[in-house]
Amino acid sequence: MENIWVYDDEFVKGLIHIEGDWIQELYVDYFFQNKGIGAMLIAFAIRKFDVRHLYVLEKNTRAIRFYQGFGFSLTQERRIQEGTTEFIVKMDR
């Protein structure tokens, strides 16, 4: 398990949680979005850990497009996110 944090000026701006070749979580604080932090974290995870899989909320088309920009593609795997009524979809690269 790896956790990579972007921390500056006493603020956590973003983080990525990696387990094996899976991205378990990517988070960029709302105030720091659209500044390249998420892209930097994904690029680092691909280069350093060769991540290949992730799940994303099906309705989060913005995130899906973001991940597609890094070579991830939607698979046919789709399931309900535990504890919610929301669907998540698997993406692989």
pLDDT tens, position by position, for the chain (93 residues)? Answer: 677 767 677 888 999 999 999 999 999 999 999 999 999 999 999 999 999 999 999 999 999 999 999 999 999 999 999 899 999 999 999
The answer to whether the CB of 49 falls within 8 A of the CB of 25 is: no
Range of the domain at 22: 1-51
Residue 45 shares a structural domain with residue 79: no
Residue 57 shares a structural domain with residue 84: yes
Residue 46 shares a structural domain with residue 57: no
Q: What 3-state DSSP class applies to 70?
A: coil
What's the structural domain count of the chain?
A: 2
The answer to whether the CB of 17 falls within 8 A of the CB of 42 is: no
The answer to whether the CB of 40 falls within 8 A of the CB of 32 is: no
